[in-house]
Chains A and B, each alone.
Chain A
Amino acid sequence: MPVDSYKYIPLNWRKDHEAAPMKRASTIWTPLQTPLPEARLALLTTAGVYLSGTQESFDLEGERRNPTWGDPGYRVIPRGAQQAQMDFAHLHINTRDHHQDFNIALPLDRFAELESEGRIGRLADDHYSVMGFQSDDGAAWKQETLPEITRRMKAAEVDALVLAPA
């Protein structure tokens, strides 16, 4: 059975989703240029992860003041970051399980295992976190955040990104 994409959303949203048109005319396709055992991978989560001792939270107060706005910034999460360093700023999901184990959203430990077993060439030094609720057009993401993250990944010679929406 294929995954039911709407299992965990309110029933009255399902019809709208199922009736929605295609959002793009075509797919941008880039072949993986490097075999996985030699490739460098980075991860990106939309779970609003940040390092509580050294980074600012995403701006939840701003979102409370303006409910149609979401903080479009990003945080760099280094490989090796520990659970005790992490906090989660997201008003649209319950982050109780994330406080137990960040790997459910940003599986740095699992990909470090895959690196140590030679299944991937290298887990990048830097990974990325955004907060997934954005205004309808996502303009700030498109114009600022994503180009900046892309620039950083290119500079770090990342071959592939594993994107995990929350």
Chain B
Amino acid sequence: MIVTMMPAVAERWRAPRVVGVEFPFGHAFGMPNDAAMQRSVAEHALQALSEATGPEYRLDVPIEWPIDTKTAYRDWQPLEASPIVAYNKARAAAAAVSAGS
């Protein structure tokens, strides 16, 4: 079973038991040093394992991330753009220059 921030993507891959969390990336089980939140997600995982009787099972965790979306969106991202993001940006910039010349 899978605990994921992108349950719709897991469903598209037809993962058999999906637990969805509306948390920023990197934080499938919640906030650091918040054992109660982590425990709640873990209990939902157990619920999925015990309750699902067939494929296409999905259970969403009804916990709201306690940090505003704009801050959380910024905070999950690496301080430096990942190599693939930098690479794609450079390619797009080169293509724009080429198209303009």
Give A contacts to B, CB under 8 Å: 2-8, 17-18, 20-24, 26-32, 35-36, 39, 45, 47, 63-64, 67-68, 90-98, 100-101, 103-105, 107, 109-111, 113-114, 119-120, 133, 160-166
Contact = CB atoms under 8 A, between A and B. Distances in A.
B66 interface: no
Nearest to B62: A1
A8 B46 contact: no
A84 to B, nearest CB: 15
A40 to B, nearest CB: 12
Given A3-B22, A105-B26, A32 B50 contact: yes
A91 B72 contact: no
B42 A67 contact: no
Task: Bin the interface of chain B by size.
Answer: 35 or more
Contacts of B41: 107
Contact of B28 (A30, A36, A90, A104): A104
Interface of B: 1-9, 12-16, 20-33, 35, 38-39, 41-43, 45-46, 49-50, 53-56, 60-61, 69, 72-73, 75-80, 82-84, 86-87
Contacts of A6: 6, 8
A165 B10 CA distance: 10
A92 to B, nearest CB: 5
Contact of B29 (A21, A26, A107): A107
A104 B26 contact: yes
B76 A104 contact: no
A101 B33 CA distance: 6
A92 B1 CA distance: 23
B25 A166 contact: yes
A131 B43 CA distance: 25
Contacts of B82: 67, 91-92, 133
A104 B49 contact: no
A103 B61 contact: no
A41 to B, nearest CB: 8
Contacts of B80: 91
A166 B35 CA distance: 18
B14 A24 contact: yes
A68 to B, nearest CB: 6
Nearest to A160: B49
Contacts of B83: 63-64, 67, 91
A90 to B, nearest CB: 8
19 contacts: A3-B5, A8-B5, A8-B69, A8-B76, A17-B9, A24-B13, A29-B55, A36-B50, A39-B49, A93-B78, A94-B75, A95-B26, A96-B75, A104-B26, A104-B32, A114-B46, A160-B49, A162-B3, A163-B3
